[in-house]
């Protein structure tokens, strides 16, 4: 057990060279994995919404600065 008395999330095997999750570690892993999965899903949702509503225009820099940039104000 750690010094503070809390149960360890890891078990040491083979003279300290291998680690496995203890029963407490498996419980903790399950709980935090669900949270990280939700964070990842939220990021993917935002990224999909951003890319679906985006308009990408590619052109030469001279065309962009002399014609496209002034037109953007009218399109808004």
Q: What is the pLDDT along the chain (76 residues), one digit of tens a residue?
A: 455 666 777 776 666 677 888 888 889 899 999 999 999 999 999 988 887 877 778 889 888 888 888 887 776 6
0.75 exceeded by pTM: no
pLDDT of residue 7: 72
For 29, the domain range is 10-75
Q: State the total domains in the chain.
A: 1
pLDDT of residue 1: 45
* Strand ranges (E), the chain: 10-13, 18-21
Classify residue 5: in a domain, yes or no: no
Residue 11 φ then ψ, to 5°: -115, 135
Classify residue 41: in a domain, yes or no: yes
pLDDT of residue 14: 61
CB 22 within 8 A of CB 8: yes
Classify residue 16: in a domain, yes or no: yes
Classify residue 59: in a domain, yes or no: yes
Classify residue 49: in a domain, yes or no: yes
């Amino acid at each position: 057990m750690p010094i503070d008395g809390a149960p360890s999330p890891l078990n040491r095997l083979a003279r300290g060279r291998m680690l496995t999750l203890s029963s407490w570690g498996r419980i903790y892993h399950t709980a935090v994995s669900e949270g990280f999965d939700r964070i990842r899903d939220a990021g993917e949702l935002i990224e999909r919404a951003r890319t679906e509503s985006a308009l990408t225009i590619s052109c030469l820099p001279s065309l962009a600065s002399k014609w496209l940039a002034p037109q953007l104000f009218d399109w808004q």
